[in-house]
């Protein structure tokens, strides 16, 4: 049994009461050392105790026998724990890492290996974790999820990891599942695709999360996230500043992107739907992205069976040909259905802004020969912290996006979680205390200055 100091005993009842409730047959293992090799119970040994259903030397168990709802926690009073790893932690059994309130844990792989490998159908739940310093010669620089396993992260940061092939931050394969809530995946690198996150033949959900500053050296795009034969959703999130493109939806993937911002991604489109990918895009703001391709800095569609439904999105200020040509949407194959979108800026004409699609009568164009010729600076503000968990582009008072969306399809909340008084196009619902918006019976809005 590990040595527990008098100080730790004093706080034992407080810590136990703060853990997620376990069933009667679940065990909780307490680790009490941040080093990877030590006589006391390390984080690795606590995980191995649960994997094996038997205590490792120095570890302490309470709250029942080993079962299906086992947990790992700690009595250490330091609120910001940094665990230095010599090699990957292998998790092969269901586990919840349940820290006391206000505690966070950083898994620092020290460029020795990835931080975690999750396999054998293990279901892993972690709150308040940072994964950094991962480096591997294959895939999954920070975390690898495989073998029908599941990873559920809340309040996480995955940053500064490296994979020579795919999935610099995280790689998910083999009919597995990953869900991220209030997470940041940033500044990771992949030599192939998916600098931030690569998901293959699995499921992915990101809510209130940020994918930014990742890089993928491969030419096929998806530096932020690449979904390959995958079902997924991005909601109330930001995908920005990724080098190698934003999101790629490929090989019969089905994907839903709602109330999100895709901004300043480069070298490949903000969204690329390819090879039978199916995407529904609803109330997103897509601006400032650039592709090396001939068209479609905001959205590119390739592959005869690819299909996109785009409703109430802003596609403005995107570029193609390395920034030479202003180009919002490019359809080279497949099908694109549009409704209620705002497309282009006054700096270009319709034929340059869009390629290969016919707009609906509910779409509006801000191009020089369009419905509402408008400069980008009068449509959107710069990317900023406007409330909510991630950054957004606020609408300008003169923006033609205000009140111009298809009302029946409009979410009740915007990206920040603010109520929509009218159906504004894009992820941000207009608000300015010096103006007030009056919804009209036709679903549009009138704006008055106070």
Which one has a higher pLDDT value, 434 or 13? 434
In tens, the pLDDT along 392-431 reads: 999 999 999 999 999 999 999 999 999 998 999 999 999 7
Which one has a higher pLDDT value, 443 or 313? 313
Distance CA 291, CA 245 (A): 7
> Going by C-beta distance under 8 Å and a sequence separation of 6 or more, which residues neighbour residue 187?
159, 160, 212, 213, 214
- 3 state DSSP class of 40: coil
% of the chain at pLDDT higher than 70: 90
Distance CA 32, CA 3 (A): 9
Q: How far is CA 387 from CA 153, 181, 205, in A?
A: 22, 17, 22
In tens, the pLDDT along 47-72 reads: 999 999 999 988 988 878 888 779 99
Distance CA 280, CA 4 (A): 54
**Strand runs labelled E in 173-302:** 177-181, 184-186, 189-190, 197-200, 203-207, 210-212, 215-216, 225-228, 231-235, 238-240, 247-250, 254-258, 261-263, 271-274, 278-282, 285-287, 299-301
**Residue 196 burial by Cβ neighbours in a 10 Å radius (0-12, 13-18, 19+):** buried
pLDDT at 62: 80
Residue of 197, 82, 98, 97 lying closest to 139 (CA atoms): 197
Half-sphere exposure of 316 (CA within 13 A, CB side): 37
Q: Check whether 148 has a pLDDT greater than 50.
A: yes
> Going by C-beta distance under 8 Å and a sequence separation of 6 or more, which residues neighbour residue 72?
28, 29, 30, 31, 43, 46, 47, 50, 95, 96, 97, 98
Distance CA 220, CA 29 (A): 44
Computed over every residue of the chain, the mean pLDDT equals 90
In tens, the pLDDT along 224-259 reads: 999 999 999 999 999 999 999 999 999 999 999 999
Distance CA 335, CA 314 (A): 19
- In the predicted model, what is the mean pLDDT of residues 211-221? 94
> Going by C-beta distance under 8 Å and a sequence separation of 6 or more, which residues neighbour residue 356?
295, 301, 330, 331, 332, 336
Q: Check whether 21 has a pLDDT greater than 70.
A: no
In tens, the pLDDT along 81-90 reads: 999 999 999 9
Q: Check whether 279 has a pLDDT greater than 70.
A: yes
- 3 state DSSP class of 43: helix
Which one has a higher pLDDT value, 324 or 441? 324
Q: Check whether 23 has a pLDDT greater than 80.
A: no
Distance CA 183, CA 402 (A): 30
Largest CA distance in the chain: 77
Encoded tokens for 440: 């009209």
Q: Check whether 22 has a pLDDT greater than 60.
A: no
> What letter does residue 378 receive in the DSSP assignment?
G
How many Å is the Cα radius of gyration of the chain? Answer: 24
Encoded tokens for 180: 């991220």
Residue of 136, 19, 149 lying closest to 74 (CA atoms): 19
% of the chain at pLDDT higher than 90: 78
Distance CA 351, CA 67 (A): 62
pLDDT at 74: 84
pLDDT at 296: 96
What is the dihedral sign for C-alpha 405, 411, 416, 417?
positive
Lowest-confidence pick of 183-187, 216-220, 344-348, 422-426? 216-220
pTM: 0.91
pLDDT range class, residue 441, cuts 50, 70, 90: low
pLDDT at 376: 97
**Residue 361 burial by Cβ neighbours in a 10 Å radius (0-12, 13-18, 19+):** exposed
| Number of CB atoms found within 10 A of residue 323's CB | 13
Lowest-confidence pick of 181-185, 299-303, 442-446? 442-446
In tens, the pLDDT along 114-140 reads: 999 999 999 999 999 999 999 999 999
pLDDT at 353: 96
> What letter does residue 104 receive in the DSSP assignment?
E
């Amino acid at each position: 049994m590990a040595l527990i100091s008098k100080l730790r005993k004093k706080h034992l009842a407080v810590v136990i009461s703060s853990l997620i409730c376990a069933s009667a047959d679940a065990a909780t293992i307490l680790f009490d050392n941040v080093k990877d090799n030590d006589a006391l119970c390390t984080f690795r040994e606590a995980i191995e105790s649960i994997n094996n259903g038997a205590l490792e030397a120095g570890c302490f168990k309470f709250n029942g026998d080993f079962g299906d709802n086992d947990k790992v926690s700690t009595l250490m009073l330091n609120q910001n724990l940094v665990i230095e790893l010599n090699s990957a932690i292998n998790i092969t059994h269901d586990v919840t890492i349940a820290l006391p309130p206000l505690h966070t844990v950083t898994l620092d792989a020290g460029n020795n290996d990835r931080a975690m490998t999750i396999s054998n159908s293990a279901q892993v739940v972690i709150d308040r974790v940072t994964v950094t310093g991962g480096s591997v010669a294959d895939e999954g620089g920070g975390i690898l999820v495989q073998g029908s396993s599941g990873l559920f992260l809340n309040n996480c940061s995955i940053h500064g990891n490296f994979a020579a092939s795919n999935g610099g931050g995280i790689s998910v394969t083999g009919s597995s599942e990953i869900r991220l809530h209030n997470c940041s995946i940033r500044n990771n690198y992949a030599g192939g695709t998916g600098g931030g996150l690569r998901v293959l033949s699995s499921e992915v959900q990101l809510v209130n999360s940020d994918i930014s500053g990742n890089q993928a050296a491969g030419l096929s795009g998806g530096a932020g996230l690449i979904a390959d034969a995958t079902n997924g959703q991005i909601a109330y999130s930001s995908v920005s500043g990724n080098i190698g493109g934003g999101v790629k939806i490929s090989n019969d993937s089905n994907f839903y992107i709602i109330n999100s911002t895709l901004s300043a991604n480069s070298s490949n489109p903000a969204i690329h739907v390819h090879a039978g990918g199916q995407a529904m895009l609803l109330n997103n703001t897509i601006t400032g992205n650039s592709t090396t391709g001939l068209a479609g800095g905001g959205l590119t569609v390739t592959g005869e069976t690819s299909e996109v439904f785009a409703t109430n999105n802003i596609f403005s200020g995107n570029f193609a040909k390395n920034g030479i040509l202003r180009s919002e949407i490019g359809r080279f194959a497949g099908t694109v259905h549009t409704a209620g979108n705002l497309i282009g800026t006054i700096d270009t004409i319709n034929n340059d802004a869009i390629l290969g699609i016919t707009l609906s009568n509910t779409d509006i164009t801000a191009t020089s020969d369009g419905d509402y010729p408008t400069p980008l600076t009068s449509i959107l503000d710069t990317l900023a912290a406007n409330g909510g968990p991630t950054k957004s582009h606020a609408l300008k008072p003169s923006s033609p996006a205000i009140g111009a969306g298809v009302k029946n399809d409009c979410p009740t909340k915007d990206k920040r979680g603010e109520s929509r008084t009218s159906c504004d196009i894009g992820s941000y619902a207009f608000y300015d205390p010096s103006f007030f918006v009056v919804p009209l019976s036709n679903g549009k809005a009138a704006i008055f200055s106070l």
